[in-house]
Structure 1
């Protein structure tokens, strides 16, 4: 029998951990029907557990008819047609409409019989450390968006605590992390460059490009880096500003690349107040697709990763028990705002 996954510091009672570990071995095909398992005494001695704890675990398994006891011989696996819910910790950096799309696709693709526990770390390394440290051993998989902008070495050390084969990263890679883990990632720098290059014919009617940095809301710096590289390669006049307020000067002939929704709303208001026609006088390229952007101003041009595909791809790694590296699709949707 495979080694039992027992954590005496976990909030889950040890007898339940024993029972669930044995059922997981049955689920994974490591224990088969009629296969003998260690006796109560053998298991308690091997893991330095009280006999009563192991006995309670075996009673739990007998009640579920997972095992049977044969007098004078011991305990044997009785049935393999059991469904043991997988437990997944899903850890996002923030709450947003896009994260909701990832979550819904993730849960839908996993299907029934999977418990998904969603938490938010808010880019806080301290909160992240607390969540992982307090839940090690409580889940079968840890699916994490590692969007942190401070203490990268500490973040790496925290990720290393997660057992091999149980970690899946979403959206952003932790490039220094070694070992077996899955990832569904964006290549932020390359993605924005290629999307803007595809939009080049529409962008050429504007005199300059303006990248609107979200300011207080942290975003991967590779996005701005890819924007700057595109402008240099295509010989565009460009600037980078910190957010858009109602007093921000907006000039005819500019095209704006906007990440944050609040900045998008403010830009639309400024254009309306100054009789600047969006799509002719001022261009807009917005990050991340939403249903509203399909109809707002007869359509807002977006550059966006496929959030539903991201959630589904991570879920398939769990369903197939096959971790790997998956580049998430990124696309330009050209509409009337450009």
Structure 2
């Protein structure tokens, strides 16, 4: 096994790679150069610690990564063996999102690009349906090397996700209360919405009334409604929450706050038909940014987390598996539609 250890040690000076990546690539190089072949037993964890000097958890993590690619297999009480000499096998990642909306598309494209060609990403959507969410989790459990999950915020969802190993699981998008060993890169809605409305207070005062369109039977985050209601109460602003926008009901000197882009299109059509100027005759504020909002009507104001940043950090977790607990802050973009 001397040649095997030498092959791994060759990569130890590559400071741009983590120790886990050095070990994974060292084993792959040893297979490619036929130092070890299919069916050969790899050194034990203890032997690797002794020869390489890496921590046990780093070696276990590397062997498990190779297992998830199908390159290595473990046999009970017998150790790790070379299972496949096709070292181009990709680590499989299960990505479970709400739906393929524009901001989810931004997340997916950035996530995929950041991971690169050594990862196979299978994407699933639950559409805020608890039965579909449960069925997908039961179907994918144990079949992927990593799991990136946008959960339905509920205790039932937390119980389901706890069936997945914490070191392979990342919660994204919506925050959910999980044991501390589980990682998350999520949004926070109530205080974030409140504080961003505070920042726009002087512009909001231009309008006689503010209307938030919010449906309790949808996947809208309840924190947005709570933050909105707190803001209009604390600042004594005339405001209301309505289920949906009815086409043709547009009113002058009103600020419309949309979560759903389908409602946004309806009010913009009314603006065009009545020759209303956005940012002067009426105001428009939307949740979640998208490229088209930068273009239409000289730009639509958004309150939004940076989903590209979220995706980059999610990809980093998949690559390095370092525990992370992070809330992505909201940003205000393009203020002129207020």
Q: What TM-score results when the alignment is normalised by the length of structure 2? A: 0.74
Instruction: Determine if contact 1:88/1:115 at 8 Å carries over to the other structure.
Output: yes
| CA displacement at 1:129 relative to structure 2 | 1.8
- Written as runs of structure 1 = structure 2, the 5 A alignment for 1:94-133 is 94-133=99-138
| CA displacement at 1:154 relative to structure 2 | 2.4
- Asked if 1:29 is matched to 2:59, the reply is yes
| CA displacement at 1:318 relative to structure 2 | 1.8
Change beyond 3 A, Cα 1:163–1:304:
same
Instruction: Determine if contact 1:214/1:260 at 8 Å carries over to the other structure.
Output: no
- Structure 2: unaligned runs, 5 residues or longer: 1-37, 49-56, 63-73
CA distance in 2, matches of 1:31, 1:193: 42
Match of 1:231 in 2: 232
Instruction: Determine if contact 1:214/1:259 at 8 Å carries over to the other structure.
Output: no
Instruction: Determine if contact 2:42/2:82 at 8 Å carries over to the other structure.
Output: no
Match of 1:159 in 2: 161
Change beyond 3 A, Cα 1:203–1:135:
same
| CA displacement at 1:30 relative to structure 2 | 4.0
Change beyond 3 A, Cα 1:58–1:185:
closer
Match of 1:141 in 2: 146
Instruction: Determine if contact 2:42/2:81 at 8 Å carries over to the other structure.
Output: no
- Written as runs of structure 1 = structure 2, the 5 A alignment for 1:1-338 is 28-30=58-60, 46=77, 60-61=83-84, 63=85, 85-148=90-153, 152-175=154-177, 177-214=178-215, 217-247=218-248, 249-338=249-338
Change beyond 3 A, Cα 1:22–1:201:
farther
Greater relative contact order (Cα 8 A, min sep 6): structure 1 or 2?
A: 1
CA distance in 1, matches of 2:138, 2:194: 38
Question: Which segment is superposed worse, 162-171 or 216-225?
Answer: 216-225
| CA displacement at 1:85 relative to structure 2 | 2.9
CA distance in 1, matches of 2:196, 2:138: 39
CA distance in 2, matches of 1:110, 1:188: 28
CA distance in 2, matches of 1:296, 1:287: 16
Instruction: Determine if contact 1:285/1:302 at 8 Å carries over to the other structure.
Output: yes
CA distance in 1, matches of 2:42, 2:129: 36
CA distance in 2, matches of 1:87, 1:103: 15
Change beyond 3 A, Cα 1:58–1:298:
closer
Match of 2:23 in 1: none
Q: Deviations over 1:223-242 (max 9, x none)?
A: 11101111111110101111
CA distance in 1, matches of 2:327, 2:124: 24
Instruction: Determine if contact 2:107/2:311 at 8 Å carries over to the other structure.
Output: yes
CA distance in 2, matches of 1:206, 1:326: 35
Change beyond 3 A, Cα 1:270–1:137:
same
CA distance in 2, matches of 1:326, 1:31: 23
- SS of residue matched to 2:96: strand
Instruction: Determine if contact 1:199/1:334 at 8 Å carries over to the other structure.
Output: no
| CA displacement at 1:45 relative to structure 2 | 6.8
CA distance in 2, matches of 1:205, 1:31: 57
